Structure 1
Amino acid sequence: MRGPQRALAAANLAFTVGSGLYLTAGVLYFTEAVGLPAAQVGLGLGVAGVGSLAAGIMIGHLADRVGARGVYLGTLLAQAVADGAFLLTGDFPTFLVVVCLAASAKTAGFAARTPLIRHYGGDRPQEFRGYLRAVTNLGIAIGAPLAGWAVQVGTLTAYRNLVLGMVAASLVAAAILTLVPGVEPLAPAGRRWIALRDRRYLLLTVLDGVMAIQFKVLTVAMPLWLIGFTAAPRWLVSVTMATATGIVVLFQVRASRGVDSPAAGGRAYRRAGLAFLLSCSLIPLAAGPPAAVAAAILIVAVMIHAVGQLWNSAGGFEVSFALAPAHATGQYLGVFGLGAGLADTFGPALVIWLCLGWGRPGWFLLGAILALTGCVLPVAVRRSVAGR
């Protein structure tokens, strides 16, 4: 990799170590250390998720017009400030303001970074985006056990050190980002919000958002199913997560190499949908058999699901970049992130309702929805390409 690519990857690694800390123990910080009721924390996170969606579009557009590096650097510093403000949180109104700022900074940062990925990603920025996703999973894997230490200790000091670690991660990422040369903006004068007028791209955004619900299968539905409905040992939750993360770290770049056109991206979506159908059909079968059999079923299902995630991400990288004009990369990728953002916000409740509320039929229905969406996406991609 070239110097700017290495710097972007290193900044991403530093930032996602902080993400691993937050994803693992952020909710527990607010409930255990701050003392907020779980219901209030859940409500605040939901409001923050919805409110952050607009930030991606606006900041992505700003990155196109004034320069991506400076805007991305600003989002990292804003993330550090917002995370540091967690230490000042003592009531629900303050929590709501702070968590909204933190969520908006994170979403905005992803959008602001995309012009840099396109500029420094070489002939195939989609492959470089796949590499960054592998780095993201590695960073989360590093941060998660560190957060586990704070949870295990359980003291106020340990939780505060966790927050300071999040702040440090964003500051280190910002310092590394200064090594990346700036990129001159390409956005021309004229109509500003062209991504919001691109109906075909908006359709792809919606469909990608439906596919993004699959991320909540391994992080929400499957762990709850394992603990509540199977005889598999509880520690298998961490094993399944480590398995899925390891597959992404090792194979995401390779999976992205074969997806080198929008048409190939559409086919990758279709393969992903079929893989999700198979995994969602296997997971409910773990309810009933002995522990060893249940564990084997779940491990196989998670491996299949992780392969589907490789194809899903590769398809999304290709389609979102290839169909976005170079002068409006930040804006278009900010819009494309709306789908995944909505899945993050509403996906947990949906998969719990389907998979735990309906049981086995709900799992089969979820798999069918993902498979059908994956089969529709190649058609939507072809229409979007034809429209250009």
Structure 2
Amino acid sequence: MPHLIPDTGPQRVITASNFVYTISSGLYLTAGVLYFTQAVHLPAAQVGIGLGIAGFVSLVMGMAVGHLADRHGARGVYAITLVVRALATACFLLVDSFWPFVLAVCAATGAQAAGVAARSPLIRHYGGDRPQEFRAHLRAVTNIGVSLGALLAGWAVQVGTRTAYQLLVVGIAIACAASAAVLVLLPAVMPGPVVDGPRWVALRDRPYLLITALDGIMAIQFKVLTVAVPLWLVEAITAPHWLISGAMLVNTLIVIAFQVRASRTIDSPAAGAGAYRRSGLAFLVSCSLLSLTAGMPPWAAATLLMVAVVIHTIGEMWHSAAGFEVSFALAPQHATGQYLGVFGLGAGLAEALGPSLLISLCITWGRPGWYVVGALFTVTGLIAPLAVRRAEYRQRFRPTHIEALGKAPVA
């Protein structure tokens, strides 16, 4: 789509690298678990435990590698994370038992989390006056790449043979390596000057940590459409099951078409705080509508479900745009990678804990659980503006020699 093509050369290189990489993400998200259960024949319980371990390992990788990107140059560090992801994925082909699986998936997941943090200084440096808007471009492109990868993975799932799944793994590894190769076209960003003071400044920034925690709670919403809605549709309502795919398709298309536009008006921390508040209310409405679908006739349940998906997606775009804005605007330039690595901790915890929470509340408890989840998002959205104002206050009193560092030069 033309509006997703950036104006500058470096932005186009980053976008191209991101697009290739997210094709691998779509392949893995769609059929990665099935590879280990169907091709390697690991028990599903062991796969779940291994993925949980990998999720917690990845939490510490983002901040550490983000700090390396700040100190040693973001392009090189980011490229290394992509190469490590490619090699770790290739090692999936050698997995034949639980512990080799854990080692390989921890390396792959850790490299993925590290790459998100290492890329952040590149986005800030080459994102122009509004790196947050460029980040919104990348999210829209991510949805296109993931969708394409999911379609390609469908072939392996349909064929269902060990060879088909192995070809899928090879495709993931090649896409990761190709993403790293594209970065050769990107001018290097020299590391920023060393600033006196504690090394892990982000961990001492309590207002930023509070925003990270709140954003992590809000990030549980990403699991609503991928975990709670499919299970709710199968177990509690009479709508046709193909609506699981229909809901994801509607969500993806809306994000591709409107994420950039939604981010343009959220151009300050205060605007981001307002977007958090609106997203919480949108999630409350969507969760309430989803709870009402139980016991309805099929046509009514299907209609209400899709309305809820649209409202949820609007809230998702507001939440994403708010996170883009506050995470960049409230982070000092010299520690962008470290701060964005810390900010990723919230989403990482949501990834690890969100599915079990949603299943316990929305599926096991049922209709009341949807209202509890909606209320959780609403309260979080209402608290967020207070946390953002506190972080802005702290930012105003940050030492001036830190703020005067400016952008790192291009090599």
TM-score, normalization by structure 2: 0.94
Letter in 2 for 1:164: V
Question: How far apart in 1 are the matches of 2:230 and 2:387?
Answer: 33
For 2:58, the aligned partner's letter is S
Q: 1:288 deviation in Å?
A: 1.0
1:137 equivalent in alignment to 2:143: yes
Counterpart of 1:193 (choices 186, 200, 213) is 200
1:247 aligned onto 2:272? no
Task: Work out whether residues 187 and 328 of structure 1, in 8 Å CA contact, stay in contact via their aligned partners in 2.
Answer: no
Matched, 1:297 2:307: no
Q: Does 1:64 align with 2:70?
A: yes
Cα offset, 1:184, TM superposition: 1.0
2:400 corresponding residue in structure 1 = none
CA distance in 2, matches of 1:290, 1:166: 42
Contact between 1:20 and 1:139, CA under 8 Å: does it hold in 2?
Answer: yes
> Counterpart of 1:192 in 2: which secondary structure?
coil
Aligned pairs (5 A) from 1:13-92: 13-92=19-98
Q: Distance in 2 between matches of 1:369 and 1:187?
A: 41
Cα distance per residue 1:47-106 (max 9 Å; x no partner): 000011110000000000000000000000000000000000000000000000000000
* Unaligned ranges ≥5, structure 2: 1-6, 396-411
Cα deviation, residue 41, structure 1:
0.2
Q: Which of residues 255, 269, 286 is equivalent to 2:293?
A: 286
Paired with 1:44 and 1:270, the residues of 2 have a C-alpha distance of 35
Which of 229, 234, 239 aligns to 2:241? It is 234
Further displaced range: 164-173 or 72-81: 164-173
Aligned pair count reads: 388
Structure 1: 5+ residue stretches without partners: none
Read off the aligned partner of 2:95 and give its amino acid letter. T
Equivalent of 1:160, from 160, 166, 174? Answer: 166
In 2, Cα distance between equivalents of 1:289 and 1:281:
14
The AA in structure 2 aligned to 1:233 is P
Partner of 1:333: 340
TM-score by length of 1: 0.99
Residue identity matched to 1:294: A
2:107 to 101, 106, 119: 101
Identity of aligned residues (%): 63
Aligned residues: CA RMSD: 0.6
Q: Distance in 2 between matches of 1:354 and 1:168?
A: 40
1:207 corresponding residue in structure 2 = 214
Q: Is the CA contact 1:64–1:187 (under 8 Å) kept in the aligned structure 2?
A: no
Say whether residues 1:220 and 2:227 are aligned partners: yes
Secondary structure, counterpart of 1:311 in structure 2: helix
User: What SS class does the counterpart of residue 42 from structure 2 fall into?
Assistant: coil
Matched-pair contact (CA < 8 Å) for 1:63–1:330: yes
Please name the residue that 1:310 is paired with.
317
Q: What residue identity is the alignment partner of 1:234?
A: H
CA distance in 2 between counterparts of 1:170 and 1:240 reads: 28
Q: Shift of the alpha carbon at 1:189?
A: 3.7
The one of 369, 373, 381 aligned to 2:380: 373
Determine the C-alpha separation between the residues in 2 that align with 1:185 and 1:276: 40
Q: By how many angstroms is 1:187 displaced?
A: 4.2
Select which of 342, 353, 373 maps to 1:346. 353
> Which residue of structure 1 aligns with residue 278 of structure 2?
271
Counterpart-to-counterpart distance in 2, 1:130 and 1:291: 36
Report if the CA contact (8 A) 1:137-1:249 is conserved: yes
**Superposition deviation, residue 289 in structure 1:** 1.3
Counterpart residue number, 1:2: 8
1:254-285 CA deviation, whole Å, 9 max, x = no partner? 00100000000000000000000000000121
CA drift of 1:385 comes to: 0.3
What is residue 11 of structure 1 aligned with on the other side? 17
Helix, strand or coil at the partner of 2:246 = helix
Greater CA drift, 285-294 or 106-115: 285-294
**TM superposition outliers: structure 1 runs of 4+ over 6 Å:** none
Residue deviations 1:126-156 (CA, integer Å, cap 9, x gap): 0000000001111001011111111110001
CA distance in structure 1 between the partners assigned to 2:23 and 2:201 by the alignment: 35
8 Å contact from structure 1 (residues 21, 144) kept in 2 = yes
